[in-house]
């Protein structure tokens, strides 16, 4: 590449650093493309050559910045080189090796195919109980707050803070995490769950903390444009206490409901003699499985 072309690319990259792409498919592409390319031990140029595209498009996709966009046919060729599917790269599917769009990973699909009919029967009985207890709803909320509390917030308080102290630009993923934390705090009260009273209590109790942290986090969005912006990370850190309380509460709700789900399912077995043959089959499979291991 000529110096003139490289200068143009560098200029475009610098300009686009300031503007994070929040499209969920392109965000997934950024993470998964980099991950699979690294596992294949390919450089950006090496992947571009094999896929019949240019390095700059690979670079822009991995940095998740606007500018040079991969075309559909280029994405398809990249997927072939990485031995995956375009749907996986874009986050539409969690199956790396097939066009299975049931939302499950390859390992889970393989496991499901290996399961005995009786084990599938157990899941079949458990799923309605899980739905009735709203187990998955609570689990989703727990996973999100745990991720915010143990990934996003520490990333901002450590990695982002270090970059600001050393006067370095924030990357696309830095800005995306900043934007998500801002959105999470802004809409914390709006979570559609059963325990809205507790959420309202937390939001009211920590109203000033949330407001102050939100204002400091918002400053980070403009940092690449203005390196003179001052951010008080201690103020941001204070929101950790609220998130810890919420995470502990939701964790308790998740396990409480899981226990109730298992108890209800077991009780349905116990009270109904029509399950007697199924119980015998379950035990025989367990014994036979153990005998196979001892051989």
What's the CATH number where 84 sits? 1.10.260.40
Residue 258: its pLDDT value, please? 83
- Final residue in a domain of this structure, among 67, 91, 107: 107
End-of-domain residue from the set 88, 107, 126? 107
Domain boundary among 72, 107, 142: 107
* The predicted structure's pLDDT at residue 295: 57
Q: Most confidently modeled of 1-15, 61-75, 112-126, 263-277?
A: 61-75
191 three-class SS:
coil
Q: Indicate the number of domains in the chain.
A: 2
Q: What is the Cα–Cα distance from 8 to 4, expressed in whole angstroms?
A: 6
pLDDT at 292 over 80: no
pLDDT digits (tens, 9 = 90+) for 260-290: 888 887 887 788 787 787 778 778 877 876 6
Residue-level pLDDT at 199: 92
The DSSP code sequence of 44-83 is HHHHHHHHTS-HHHHHHHHHT-SSS---HHHHHHHHHHTT
Closest CA to 157 of 238, 61, 237, 41: 237
- pLDDT of 13 above 50: no
Q: Which of 36-40, 116-120, 134-138, 286-290 has the highest mean pLDDT?
A: 36-40
Within this chain, do residues 70 and 192 fall inside the same structural domain, yes or no?
A: no
37 and 144 within one domain: no
Identify the pLDDT of residue 23.
Answer: 77
Alpha helices in the chain (DSSP H): 3-17, 24-39, 44-51, 55-63, 72-81, 86-89, 106-114, 117-132, 135-147, 153-154, 161-165, 172-186, 196-205, 207-220, 233-237, 240-270, 276-294
Higher pLDDT, 188 or 130: 188
The CA distances from residue 4 to 1, 7, 9, 45, 58, in Å, are 8, 5, 9, 19, 20
Q: Could you tell me if 122 and 57 lie in one domain?
A: no
The model's pTM is 0.65
Residues 158 and 98 in one domain: no
Q: Are residues 71 and 173 in the same domain?
A: no
Residues 271 and 132 in one domain: yes
98-102, 164-168, 243-247: which range is least confident on average? 98-102
> Does residue 168 surpass a pLDDT of 60?
yes
Same domain, yes or no: 102 and 128: no
Q: Are residues 210 and 81 in the same domain?
A: no
Q: Which residue segment(s) compose the domain that 36 sits in?
A: 3-107
Q: Are residues 102 and 121 in the same domain?
A: no
Instruction: Answer whether residue 53 shows pLDDT above 70.
Output: yes
Q: Calculate what percentage of the chain has a pLDDT beyond 70.
A: 78
Do both 33 and 177 map to the same domain? no
Per-residue pLDDT tens digits for 206-257: 999 999 999 999 999 889 888 888 999 999 999 999 999 999 999 998 888 8
> Is 127 found in the same domain as 257?
yes
Q: Average pLDDT, stretch 73-86? A: 91
Mean pLDDT of 79-95: 87
Type and span of the H or E element at 138: helix 135-147
State the pLDDT at residue 18. 43
Q: Do both 204 and 224 map to the same domain?
A: yes
Average pLDDT, the chain: 82
């Amino acid at each position: 590449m000529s110096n003139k072309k490289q200068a143009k690319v560098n200029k475009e990259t610098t300009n686009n650093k300031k503007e994070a792409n929040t499209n969920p498919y392109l965000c997934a592409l950024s993470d998964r493309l980099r991950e699979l390319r690294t596992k294949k031990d390919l450089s950006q140029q090496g992947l571009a050559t094999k896929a019949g595209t240019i390095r700059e498009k690979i670079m822009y996709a991995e940095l998740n910045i606007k500018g040079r966009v991969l075309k559909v046919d280029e994405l398809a060729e990249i997927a072939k080189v990485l031995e995956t599917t375009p749907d996986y790269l874009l986050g539409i599917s969690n199956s790396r090796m097939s066009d299975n769009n049931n939302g499950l990973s390859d390992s889970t699909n393989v496991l499901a195919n290996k399961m005995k009919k009786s084990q599938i029967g157990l899941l079949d009985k458990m799923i309605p109980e899980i739905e009735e207890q709203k187990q998955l709803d609570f689990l989703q909320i727990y996973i999100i707050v745990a991720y915010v509390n143990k990934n996003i917030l520490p990333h901002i308080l450590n990695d982002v803070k270090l970059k600001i102290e050393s006067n370095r630009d924030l990357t696309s993923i830095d800005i995306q995490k900043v934007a998500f934390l801002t959105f999470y705090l802004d809409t914390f009260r709006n979570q559609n769950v059963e325990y809205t009273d507790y959420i309202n209590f937390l939001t009211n109790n920590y109203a000033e903390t949330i407001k102050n942290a939100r204002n400091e986090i918002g400053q980070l969005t403009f940092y690449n444009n203005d390196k003179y912006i001052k951010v008080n990370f201690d103020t941001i850190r204070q929101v950790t206490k609220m998130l810890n309380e919420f995470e502990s509460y939701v964790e308790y709700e998740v396990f409480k409901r899981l226990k109730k789900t298992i108890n209800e399912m077991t009780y349905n077995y116990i009270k109904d003699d029509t399950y007697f043959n199924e119980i015998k089959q379950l035990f025989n499979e367990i014994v036979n499985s153990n005998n196979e291991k001892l051989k």
